[in-house]
């Protein structure tokens, strides 16, 4: 091994064989070694390990004269950070170490006095600011260039530091190493890298590299730049980067420089034209790096008197869309296996592809924050009611529906709006669940803004007033509310996306279904290749104008005959709903949950609504009002809902079961045979299941006899109360499947209202009381223990039972890992989260195989 410091193995010249790993010397050092192994023209480089840099910060210096002796005499050097993961950052590079008065004189002869002066001046400035930590303004304010600028910088240094600028390269390098090592150990840098995912004790390596100067008067070209073979935004193959003659480091990328294009370009001169040979070499080097380093790389290069030097290689920055294209092309070119291509795309990043986004470079005028409840961004005029949203859509004017919170009555308004903003609510509030189902961007629980619905205005967090009709933008990916209309980029589902998802499906070993309530949801679920519908919430089907009245008549009916009459009007509508869903899903499983919410959710809440209802029912308003009041509950989410309603008003479930069975026969006629799945919500005791099952069997028998046709169906239980988890062993023998409803289960386990949690959730998460919002990421310790208990007890008495999750957690990668680990058969999530879930499930399976 070639040591730069004979006494210290932690200070090593980078050769093809020097021992070096990202976890001892950092990613940059390791990458440079790979480039050296490829025989690329990398200037001589010495790597200092994490241990060496840690020692330096503690005051134990390596043998710096020996280190300097590893380079040609009089060479100028640069020092750059080398953290384990390049994304964790590190102190900025310092260039031109070794420059002093004597070298200045020599270099003036070689490259001209102006170039030499500007090189020396740059070193003095960066040393003063980053190493000696003098006031940056003093040095930034120097306007002179060339020799005058240099004298001014040297003089300013002497005045501020109260000593002359150090001339000895040993002193210069010692101080640079010391300041970079200490900067890494500082609190600010630690917090910054922790925010980027680094562990608190992450190490820093440093690389000391001989400089190729990029400045000079020789006959050949001099300058520096960066080059990559793909576009970072689109991922398409396109040579991109910049080049600047007479420059160093990444100066070509600075704003306002006269940098050149790389390839021929009608807008101006290019490197390809002024130095064709160097350009061709660079492209060849980049292509070699792509194949041998198995990644798209950006190379940092210098051209010195026509000669190309490769100073560094880093993985190209990439948008999610580019990440997909790059991974698929690397696999298609045989450079990486498909499994690896799948692993190279972050599942969460996919939601960026599935929705419109605010353009990364757009200016964001943020006026408030809420919970990022449904991803994507949308711009529209503020409207404060569902009716106005519909009116706005009729005028073709995009609108954002702003509500204190949404209720089922707002669904049509939500369909009409391009986005939803609410004051209250959390990840599983009504607006959030429906928003995700519709793929509608949604920010909820923006409680720090003031919503004055009466005066139709919002006071923003920075005390601005937004009125009805004003244009705002919501970003459901990060919870921001913005004034105005920033530039957007469109969603893309191109061939690369489809290819990557097909590969993911080959590897994953857990099913992914969609929660879908409407034909449009079902079509989205098919479009995203869901394995079926895991939850169809039927109550959402009753809010259309032609259904709400018979629904209300049914609720108000005193006599069973009146109730039957109202239900008889609803039956054909439900049958049509289900037939349509079955046809769209073409034989894939469809799990239909029987009616769940408390009945009063279907009743009017304001005077106008009460009057309309009184008219429809031909009753006095006072009568209607009294009856509506009588249906109110203190705690409706724990009251007469779910299976409890099925037991006390059994005609509703009878009607739904009949509609499902008739639709089964209708849809099976012209396609694949349908085996519907019927699910009972809010079960807490096995007796509930037994009673409902008997009634449903009777309905099935009756439909079979009347139609003279046979069919099968599966009956299952939604496990969403703690008691159902604990008694799953009693329940499972009566069910073909158990589906964990982790929204209600989380609510009941924590005793935490789904609809009110948004008010304090961010506070709780910020203060570390909860690691994450448990409505968003499954609480594996508490709620998870109940789920695991339910799984184990359910399987213990029925080993054929199908197990799944259909709460919102089904689309969250960490929660999917939990579901897979406890042995569930599938997860079900909002249709727009299906691709994220498919990819996350594939990651888990691939990682599991390679362990």
**Interacting residue with ligand PEP among 43, 81, 437, 807 (CB under 6 A):** 807
Q: Which is nearer to Mg ion, 48 or 719 (CB)?
A: 719
Question: Nearest approach, Cβ of 637 to ligand PEP (angstroms)?
Answer: 9
Choices 84-92, 176-184, 576-584, 739-747; region in contact with ligand PEP by CB under 6 A: 739-747
Question: Nearest approach, Cβ of 730 to Mg ion (angstroms)?
Answer: 20
The residues pairing with 366 across neighbouring beta strands, listed in sequence order, are 482
Question: Nearest approach, Cβ of 610 to Mg ion (angstroms)?
Answer: 29
Question: Nearest approach, Cβ of 720 to ligand PEP (angstroms)?
Answer: 5
Contact 730, 686 (CB under 8 A): yes
The C-alpha atoms of residue 842 and residue 443 are separated, in whole angstroms, by 29
Choices 7-15, 454-462, 504-512, 741-749; region in contact with ligand PEP by CB under 6 A: 741-749
Residue 246 backbone phi and psi in degrees, to 5: 55, 55
The residues pairing with 536 across neighbouring beta strands, listed in sequence order, are 592
The C-alpha atoms of residue 516 and residue 88 are separated, in whole angstroms, by 40
- 742 known member of a binding site: yes
744 forms part of the interface with ligand PEP (CB under 6 A):
yes
Take residue 319 and report the two structure tokens written for it: 């948008």
Over the window 400 to 439, marking each residue x when it contacts ligand PEP by CB under 6 A and - when it does not, the resulting string is ---------------------------------x------
**Interacting residue with ligand PEP among 350, 806, 822, 824 (CB under 6 A):** 806
**Interacting residue with ligand PEP among 537, 600, 734, 843 (CB under 6 A):** 537
Q: Which is nearer to Mg ion, 344 or 809 (CB)?
A: 809
- 149 known member of a binding site: no
Q: Which is nearer to Mg ion, 79 or 514 (CB)?
A: 514
5 forms part of the interface with ligand PEP (CB under 6 A):
no
The C-alpha atoms of residue 775 and residue 749 are separated, in whole angstroms, by 11
Take residue 652 and report the two structure tokens written for it: 């509703």
517 forms part of the interface with ligand PEP (CB under 6 A):
no
How many CB atoms lie under 10 A from the CB of residue 810? 30
The C-alpha atoms of residue 250 and residue 302 are separated, in whole angstroms, by 10
The residues pairing with 205 across neighbouring beta strands, listed in sequence order, are 82
Count of residues interacting with ligand PEP (CB under 6 A):
11
| Nearest 10 degrees: Cα torsion 739, 742, 745, 751 | -170
Catalytic one of 806, 809, 819, 829: 806
For residue 711, the surrounding DSSP H or E stretch is none
Contact 351, 375 (CB under 8 A): yes
The residues pairing with 210 across neighbouring beta strands, listed in sequence order, are 77
Q: Helix crossing, 650-669 with 560-585: angle to 10°? A: 30
**Interacting residue with ligand PEP among 741, 758, 790, 811 (CB under 6 A):** 741
Closest among 427, 401, 397 to 412, alpha carbons compared: 401
Q: Is 235 left (phi over 0), alpha (psi -120 to 50) or beta?
A: left
SS (H, E, C) 747-784: HHHHCCCCCCCHHHHHHHHHCCCCCCCCCCCCCCCCHH
Take residue 239 and report the two structure tokens written for it: 């040579």
Q: Which is nearer to ligand PEP, 323 or 745 (CB)?
A: 745
Q: Which is nearer to ligand PEP, 641 or 793 (CB)?
A: 641
**Interacting residue with ligand PEP among 304, 409, 423, 720 (CB under 6 A):** 720
Q: Is 25 a catalytic residue?
A: no
Taken in order 118, 122, 125, 131, the sign of the CA dihedral is negative
Question: Nearest approach, Cβ of 551 to ligand PEP (angstroms)?
Answer: 18
- 277 known member of a binding site: no
Q: Which is nearer to Mg ion, 754 or 843 (CB)?
A: 754
Question: Nearest approach, Cβ of 825 to Mg ion (angstroms)?
Answer: 20
Q: Which is nearer to Mg ion, 744 or 779 (CB)?
A: 744
Name the residues that contact Mg ion, by CB under 5 A.
Answer: 720, 741, 744
Looking at the chain, the number of H-run helices and the number of E-run strands are 34, 30
Residue 587: half-sphere exposure toward Cβ, Cα within 13 Å: 5
The C-alpha atoms of residue 764 and residue 533 are separated, in whole angstroms, by 34
The C-alpha atoms of residue 551 and residue 565 are separated, in whole angstroms, by 11
Choices 79-87, 95-103, 363-371, 742-750; region in contact with ligand PEP by CB under 6 A: 742-750
**Interacting residue with ligand PEP among 499, 742, 749, 804 (CB under 6 A):** 742
DSSP sequence for 131-187: IS---HHHHHT----HHHHHHHHHHHHHHHHSSPPP--HHHHHHHHHHHHHHHHHSH
Over the window 761 to 800, marking each residue x when it contacts ligand PEP by CB under 6 A and - when it does not, the resulting string is ----------------------------------------
Over the window 590 to 629, marking each residue x when it contacts ligand PEP by CB under 6 A and - when it does not, the resulting string is ------x---------------------------------
Contact 384, 453 (CB under 8 A): yes
Question: Nearest approach, Cβ of 743 to ligand PEP (angstroms)?
Answer: 3
Environment class of 523 (CB within 10 Å of its CB; exposed 0-12, middle 13-18, buried 19+): middle
Q: Which is nearer to ligand PEP, 70 or 374 (CB)?
A: 374
Contact 426, 758 (CB under 8 A): yes
Choices 249-257, 399-407, 701-709, 738-746; region in contact with ligand PEP by CB under 6 A: 738-746
Take residue 119 and report the two structure tokens written for it: 């090189």
- 448 known member of a binding site: no
The C-alpha atoms of residue 414 and residue 663 are separated, in whole angstroms, by 28
- 810 known member of a binding site: no
Q: Which is nearer to Mg ion, 272 or 720 (CB)?
A: 720
- 85 known member of a binding site: no
Contact 211, 96 (CB under 8 A): yes
Choices 329-337, 466-474, 623-631, 737-745; region in contact with ligand PEP by CB under 6 A: 737-745
DSSP state of 377: E
The C-alpha atoms of residue 252 and residue 401 are separated, in whole angstroms, by 46
Catalytic one of 54, 285, 430, 843: 430
Take residue 626 and report the two structure tokens written for it: 């009294």
The C-alpha atoms of residue 607 and residue 494 are separated, in whole angstroms, by 50
Radius of gyration of the chain (CA): 33
How many CB atoms lie under 10 A from the CB of residue 159? 10
User: Could you say which of ligand PEP, Mg ion, none residue 807 binds, taking C-beta under 5 to 8 angstroms by partner kind?
Assistant: ligand PEP
Question: Nearest approach, Cβ of 681 to Mg ion (angstroms)?
Answer: 6
Question: Nearest approach, Cβ of 782 to ligand PEP (angstroms)?
Answer: 15
Q: Which is nearer to ligand PEP, 357 or 747 (CB)?
A: 747
Helix, strand, coil: what percent of the chain each, to 5? 50, 20, 35
Q: Which is nearer to Mg ion, 646 or 741 (CB)?
A: 741
Question: Nearest approach, Cβ of 425 to ligand PEP (angstroms)?
Answer: 13
Q: Is 285 a catalytic residue?
A: no
- 403 known member of a binding site: no
The C-alpha atoms of residue 836 and residue 35 are separated, in whole angstroms, by 35
The residues pairing with 79 across neighbouring beta strands, listed in sequence order, are 94, 208
Q: Which single residue brings its beta carbon nearest to Mg ion?
A: 744
Question: Nearest approach, Cβ of 353 to ligand PEP (angstroms)?
Answer: 26
Annotated binding site: 537, 593, 720, 741-744
Residues of the binding site for substrate: 537, 593, 720, 741-744
**Which residues here bind ligand PEP, judged by CB under 6 A?**
433, 535, 537, 596, 720, 741-744, 806-807
Which residues are catalytically annotated? Answer: 430, 806
Would you list which residues are annotated within the binding site for Mg(2+)? 720, 744
């Amino acid at each position: 091994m070639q040591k730069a410091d004979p006494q210290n193995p932690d200070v090593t010249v980078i050769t093809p064989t020097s021992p070096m790993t990202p976890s001892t010397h950092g990613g940059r050092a390791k990458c440079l070694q790979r480039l050296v192994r490829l025989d690329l023209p990398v200037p001589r480089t010495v790597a200092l390990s994490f241990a060496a840099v840690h020692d330096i910060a503690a005051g134990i210096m390596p043998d710096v004269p020996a280190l300097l002796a590893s380079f040609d005499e009089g060479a100028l050097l640069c020092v750059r950070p080398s953290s384990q993961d390049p994304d964790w950052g590190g102190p900025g590079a310092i260039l031109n170490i070794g420059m002093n008065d004597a070298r200045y004189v020599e270099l003036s002869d070689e490259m001209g006095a102006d170039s030499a002066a500007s090189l020396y001046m740059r070193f003095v400035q960066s040393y003063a600011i980053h190493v000696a930590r003098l006031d940056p303004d003093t040095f930034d304010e120097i306007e002179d260039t060339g020799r005058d600028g240099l004298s001014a910088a040297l003089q300013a240094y002497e005045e501020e530091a109260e000593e002359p600028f150090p001339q000895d390269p040993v002193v210069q390098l010692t101080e640079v190493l010391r300041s970079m090592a200490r900067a890494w150990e500082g609190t600010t840098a630690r917090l910054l890298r922790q925010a980027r995912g680094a562990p608190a004790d992450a190490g820093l390596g440093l690389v000391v590299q001989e400089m190729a100067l990029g400045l000079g008067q020789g006959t050949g070209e001099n300058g520096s730049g960066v080059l990559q073979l793909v576009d970072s935004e689109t991922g398409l193959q396109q040579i991109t980067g910049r080049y600047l003659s007479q420059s160093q480091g990444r100066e070509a990328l600075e704003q306002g420089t006269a940098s050149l294009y790389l390839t021929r370009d009608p807008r101006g001169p290019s490197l390809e034209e002024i130095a064709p040979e160097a350009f061709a070499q660079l492209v060849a080097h980049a292509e070699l790096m792509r194949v041998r380093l198995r990644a798209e790389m950006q190379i940092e290069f210098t051209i010195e008197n026509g000669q190309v030097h490769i100073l560094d290689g880093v993985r190209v920055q990439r948008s999610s869309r580019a990440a997909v294209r790059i991974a698929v092309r690397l696999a298609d070119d045989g450079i990486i296996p498909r499994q690896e291509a799948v692993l190279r795309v972050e599942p969460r990043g996919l939601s960026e592809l599935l929705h419109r986004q605010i353009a990364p470079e757009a200016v964001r005028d943020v006026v408030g924050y809420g919970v990022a409840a449904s991803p994507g961004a949308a711009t529209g005029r503020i409207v404060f009611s569902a009716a106005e949203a519909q009116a706005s859509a009729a005028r073709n004017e995009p609108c954002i529906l702003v509500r204190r919170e949404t209720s089922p009555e707002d669904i049509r308004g939500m369909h009409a709006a391009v986005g939803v903003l609410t004051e209250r609510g959390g990840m599983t509030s009504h607006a959030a669940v429906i928003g995700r189902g519709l793929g509608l961007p949604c920010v909820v629980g923006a409680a720090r803004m003031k919503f004055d619905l009466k005066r139709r205005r919002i006071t923003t967090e920075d005390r601005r007033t937004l009125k009805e009709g004003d244009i705002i933008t919501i970003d459901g990916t990060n919870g921001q509310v913005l004034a105005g209309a920033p530039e957007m980029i469109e969603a893309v589902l191109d061939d690369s996306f489809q290819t990557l998802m097909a590969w993911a499906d080959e590897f994953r070993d857990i099913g992914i279904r969609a929660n879908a309530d409407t034909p449009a949801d079902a079509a989205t679920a098919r479009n995203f290749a869901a394995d079926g519908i895991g939850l169809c919430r039927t109550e959402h089907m009753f809010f259309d104008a032609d259904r709400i009245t018979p629904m209300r008549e049914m609720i108000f009916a005193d006599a069973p005959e009146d109730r039957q009459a109202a239900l008889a009007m609803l039956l054909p509508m439900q049958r049509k709903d289900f037939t349509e869903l079955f046809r769209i899903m073409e034989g894939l499983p469809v799990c239909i949950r029987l009616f769940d919410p408390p009945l009063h959710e279907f009743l009017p809440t304001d005077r106008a609504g009460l009057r309309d209802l009184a008219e429809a029912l031909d009753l006095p308003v006072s009568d209607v009002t009294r009856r509506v009041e009588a249906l109110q509950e203190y705690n409706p989410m724990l009251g007469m809902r779910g299976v409890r309603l099925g037991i006390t008003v059994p005609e509703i479930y009878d009607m739904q079961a009949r509609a499902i069975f008739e639709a089964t026969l209708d849809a099976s006629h012209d396609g694949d045979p349908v085996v519907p799945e019927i699910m009972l919500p809010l079960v807490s005791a096995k007796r509930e299941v037994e009673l409902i099952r008997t009634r449903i069997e009777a309905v099935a028998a009756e439909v079979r006899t009347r139609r003279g046709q046979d069919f099968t169906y599966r009956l299952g239980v939604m496990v969403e109360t703690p008691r159902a988890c604990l008694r799953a062993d009693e329940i499972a023998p009566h069910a073909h499947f158990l589906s964990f409803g982790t929204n209600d289960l989380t609510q009941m386990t924590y005793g935490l209202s789904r609809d009110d949690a948004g008010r304090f959730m961010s506070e709780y998460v910020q203060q570390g009381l909860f690691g994450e919002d448990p409505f968003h990421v499954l609480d594996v310790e508490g709620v998870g223990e109940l789920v695991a208990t339910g799984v184990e007890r359910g399987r213990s008495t029925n080993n054929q039972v199908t197990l799944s999750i259909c709460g919102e957690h089904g689309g969250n990668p960490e929660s999917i890992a939990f579901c897979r680990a406890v042995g569930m058969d599938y997860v079900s999530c909002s249709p727009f989260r299906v691709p994220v879930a498919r990819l996350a499930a594939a990651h888990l399976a691939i990682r599991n195989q390679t362990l």
